[in-house]
């Protein structure tokens, strides 16, 4: 939503009309949001911005899918469970350490049957925000003491990597499209992968960068689960993904076998496209091996300045 439909505070010009016209001509519209919150939050946000949520056939958030995975019932949504979480839930090993948003982190976990605990006692790490660190008894807030926040994060990752704890990332975005591109939970996942790899690689072990990815499960675009849900009972060749981010939207569409329409003057790439060109931004992205494309070259099928009718 953010970067295509709105900027966090108001809809982009022409978007409300575009949605209404697509609805009028009978197009099925599904929102894929990498928000780590439940869909009810998206409903409230859309309504506040003037959208009619009834215009959309489904609103799928990473937070909803992750919540289902934590309960080992993601199959009810239309995607596969994560075998690692299935084992933990079946064994009743449901202690979780949380990198949080500071907004209902504890209730999010407890409502899925998990108990917040210290990193030493945890069976899982949940990365759903970049503002707090919560072990169930103490909450470290980045805004209150940023140095302490980073110290606790580094120490926690060291302990977790040594134990090879799995991590669930309920928002794979790496940066937020605000001034300065502040980090998002996807960046936590990337950092933790490096901790796991460097802790257990040669000469002390045989861990590889690729193998370290097995310990981090990311839910949301560009990964398979949300596309499986969205494309149920649909022909992928008749679907198109409209998005502003090459790493999540266009890469996800490419992996899912659907077309893509890249919005370049709103959202995360707008400034870079203005400074260089759309082709230059694509070339830079495809030359970067540290993306979710993992070396695959991506190319949007269509490019537009804005999402308008």
CA-to-CA separations, 153 to 110, 119, 132, 148, in angstroms, rounded? 22, 10, 10, 8
pLDDT tens digits for range 173-211: 998 766 666 789 999 999 999 999 999 998 889 999 999
In this predicted structure, the answer to whether residue 71 has a pLDDT above a threshold of 80 is yes
Residue with tokens 């790490």: 125
pLDDT 10s digits, 136-150: 999 999 999 999 999
Strand partners, 262: 243, 303
pLDDT reported for residue 233: 86
Q: What is the mean pLDDT of residues 84-109?
A: 96
| Angstrom distance (rounded) from CA 232 to CA 251 | 19
For the residues 148-159, what does the mean pLDDT come to?
97
Q: How far is Cα 3 from Cα 158, in angstroms, rounded to an integer?
A: 34
pLDDT at 1: 82
Mean residue pLDDT of the chain comes to 95
Q: What is the pLDDT of residue 304?
A: 96
The pTM of the full predicted model, rounded to 2 decimals, is 0.95
């Amino acid at each position: 939503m953010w970067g295509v439909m709105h900027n966090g505070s108001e809809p982009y010009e022409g978007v409300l009309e575009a949605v209404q016209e697509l609805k009028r001509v009978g197009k099925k519209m599904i929102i894929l949001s990498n928000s780590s919150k439940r869909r009810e939050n998206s409903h409230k946000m859309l309504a506040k911005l003037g959208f009619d949520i009834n215009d959309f056939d489904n609103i799928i958030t990473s937070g909803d899918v992750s919540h289902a995975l934590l309960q080992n019932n993601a199959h009810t949504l239309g995607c596969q469970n994560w075998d690692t979480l299935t084992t933990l839930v079946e064994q009743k090993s449901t202690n979780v350490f949380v990198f949080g948003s500071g907004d209902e982190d504890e209730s999010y976990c407890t409502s899925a049957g998990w108990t917040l605990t210290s990193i030493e006692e945890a069976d899982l790490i949940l990365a759903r925000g970049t503002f707090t660190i919560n072990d169930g008894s103490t909450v470290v807030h980045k805004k209150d003491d940023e140095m302490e926040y980073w110290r606790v994060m580094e120490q926690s990752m060291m302990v977790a990597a040594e134990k090879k704890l799995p991590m669930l990332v309920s928002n794979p975005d790496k940066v937020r499209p605000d001034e300065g591109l502040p980090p998002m939970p996807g960046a936590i996942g990337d950092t933790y992968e490096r901790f796991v790899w460097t802790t257990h690689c040669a000469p002390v072990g045989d861990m590889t960068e690729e193998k370290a990815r097995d310990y981090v499960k990311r839910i949301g675009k560009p990964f398979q689960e949300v596309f499986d849900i969205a494309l149920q009972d649909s022909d992928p060749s008749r679907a198109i993904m409209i998005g502003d981010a090459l790493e999540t939207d266009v890469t996800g569409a490419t992996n899912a076998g659907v077309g893509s329409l890249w919005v370049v003057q709103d959202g995360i790439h707008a400034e870079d496209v203005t400074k260089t060109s759309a082709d230059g931004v694509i070339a830079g992205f495809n030359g970067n091996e540290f993306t979710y494309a993992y070396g695959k070259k991506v190319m949007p099928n269509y490019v537009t300045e804005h999402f308008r009718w």
